[in-house]
A and B are shown apart, each in its own frame.
Chain A
Amino acid sequence: MKRVYFLSGCMLLAAAMAARAADDDWGVLKKSVASARQLPLSGTYLHQMSGLLETFRLYRAGDGDGVLERRESLDGPPREIVRTGGDVVGYAPDTKSLAAARLSAMRLFPALLPDEIDGIAQSYAVRRLTGDRIAQKDCQWFELKPRDTLRYGVRLCLENATQLPLKIMTVSPKSDVVEQYMFTDVEFGAPRNRAVLKPHYRLSYPMRTLATQVPESTAADIEVSGLPTGFRLVRAMKRSLPGQADKQVRQLIFSDGLVMLSLFVEPMMGDPRTPRVSSLHGVISTASGHQGDMQFTLVGDLPEQGMSAVARSLKISRP
């Protein structure tokens, strides 16, 4: 009997320690979110996706909302992305490069995790892995592992002193690395020469502002169910698509705290579209189909298999 008490005591202790370790790990990740956004630095990083490898130089100064950062591509179309607090502007010498800048501004390494990661725990577990060395600095690997097989996992190697992510990998459910970013060199502290924070190119395009001007209407007149657990509606609106001002669609945005999933719903035009799934660089997937007299399009950072599973389980209804 004593042995049973002892064993169960050990197990409770182990469980408590594991829970505490997980809490610590979430704390470390939160610190890393702040470092990734605000830590002043100068560095060079690689970005690799299927069939693509590019290099950027990144300079950052200031802190809080006063962060000023500029990154420029070292290969491919010349482009710069300048962020002042929450405002992001792309610069390029010609329109073609400006289009490339728009794509590059989608994800601004090392700040790939959302500002608020509290909501992630429902859909992802955090795990501390081995130590490593990147850009001549020691770092610790952490993994955000999805609790189902519909989403990508994320692995981050956080620098030991500052928790700055030195390398971030997006990992598919089959453990394939679909995208990765990595510093090849990084120096902490604001660059001495402030000129490196100023854009050089003539053409500019405002990418985003933290106060988005899209009209907000969270009162959705359709109901959606069948999404993977953890995804919640964060915004619903009626809008026109870029380049199609005359056409109105409903856009519902769902998030699991880490990635976003957009659902576009519109009345069926002509013949029902055949359901299809596609992916852009293996990271963003789209799926389309129809239900009743409505056709829908899903876009999100999910693996293709996950996206097609969502498209199959999705239920759209009018209350």
Chain B
Amino acid sequence: MKETVSALMDGELEPASARKAVTALHSDESLNDSWNTYHLIGDALRASADLKVDVRRGVAARLAEEPTVLAPRRWLRPVRPRTVGAAAIAASVSLAAVVAWQQLSFTTPSANLVAANQAVPVQVQTGAVADPVDPYVQAHQEMAADQSLMAVSYR
């Protein structure tokens, strides 16, 4: 029968025999395989550009065997290799928080003062620092803390 297929390919069959051969090809799978194989051989011999490896059946079979995975995807991978990166991010976030706090804590209700307030008070640092246990400062504070002084002076 394979000779018939080969003859059919070469166009050597009578129309009636050819019709019979085509019907046989449709019904017999092994003949159909042979038909494909002969064409492949023919293409190979002619070094045809259309030469193709038939992987369809193989791929379809492997796909059918593959189990369907229904488990959810793991978003969190084991953490060890990423710890250093995370620490760096945490550090930069906390730095941002500190900077933001510093900026925010100096914001003022009056817009024309914002620029001035971003600078740390300078005249304080350039001046000499008074001694908190200086007897004069202490004597002043003892009296300044006395609210009754204020009340007496303006009543």
Which residue numbers of A lie inside 8 Å of B, CB to CB? Answer: 48, 50, 86, 88, 99, 103, 105-106, 114-116, 118-119, 129-130, 132, 141, 143, 155, 157, 169, 171-172, 174-178, 180, 182, 207-208, 210-212, 214, 232, 234-235, 239, 241-244, 251, 253, 255, 257, 260, 262, 264, 276-282, 284-286, 297, 299-301, 303-305
Known: A50-B121, A234-B149, A244-B135. A284 touches B130 (CB 8 A): yes
B window 108-155: CB within 8 A of A: 108-110, 113, 116-117, 119-125, 127-155
Instruction: State how many angstroms separate the Cβ of A277 from the closest Cβ of chain B.
Output: 7
Any A CB within 8 A of the CB of B38: no
Known: A114-B150, A129-B109. A279 touches B139 (CB 8 A): no
A27 to B122, CA, bound (A): 35
A40 to B151, CA, bound (A): 23
Closest to A283 in B: B124
| A-B contact sample (7 more), CB < 8 A, given A88-B145, A119-B150, A177-B121 | A86-B147, A115-B151, A177-B117, A178-B124, A260-B143, A276-B128, A303-B123
A171 to B112, CA, bound (A): 14
Closest to A142 in B: B109
Instruction: State how many angstroms separate the Cβ of B116 from the closest Cβ of chain A.
Output: 4
Q: Do B146 and A212 touch (CB < 8 A)? A: yes
Closest to A241 in B: B135
B window 9-29: CB within 8 A of A: none
Q: Do B116 and A174 touch (CB < 8 A)? A: yes
Q: Do A280 and B137 touch (CB < 8 A)? A: yes
Known: A207-B145, A255-B150. A278 touches B130 (CB 8 A): yes
Which single member of A157, A178, A255, A264 contacts B139 (CB below 8 Å)?
A: A264
A155 to B110, CA, bound (A): 10
Q: Do B136 and A132 touch (CB < 8 A)? A: no
A284 proximity list for chain B (CB < 8 A)? 130, 137, 140-141
A48 to B113, CA, bound (A): 19
Which single member of B106, B138, B153 contacts A119 (CB below 8 Å)?
A: B153
A260 proximity list for chain B (CB < 8 A)? 140, 143-144, 149-150
A224 to B152, CA, bound (A): 20
Which single member of B113, B123, B132 contacts A175 (CB below 8 Å)?
A: B113
Known: A116-B150, A234-B150. A175 touches B127 (CB 8 A): no
Closest to B120 in A: A50
A285 proximity list for chain B (CB < 8 A)? 127, 130
A211 to B108, CA, bound (A): 38
Known: A115-B147, A116-B150. A277 touches B127 (CB 8 A): yes
A257 proximity list for chain B (CB < 8 A)? 150, 153-154
B148 proximity list for chain A (CB < 8 A)? 210-212
A-B contact list, 11 entries, CB within 8 Å:
A129-B109, A176-B117, A176-B119, A208-B142, A212-B148, A242-B139, A253-B144, A257-B153, A262-B140, A280-B132, A284-B141
A299 to B155, CA, bound (A): 25
Q: Do A115 and B150 touch (CB < 8 A)? A: yes
Closest to A100 in B: B132
B135 proximity list for chain A (CB < 8 A)? 241-244
B137 proximity list for chain A (CB < 8 A)? 280, 284, 286, 299
A257 to B153, CA, bound (A): 8
B83 proximity list for chain A (CB < 8 A)? none
A300 to B108, CA, bound (A): 25
A257 to B155, CA, bound (A): 11
Instruction: State how many angstroms separate the Cβ of A45 from the closest Cβ of chain B.
Output: 13
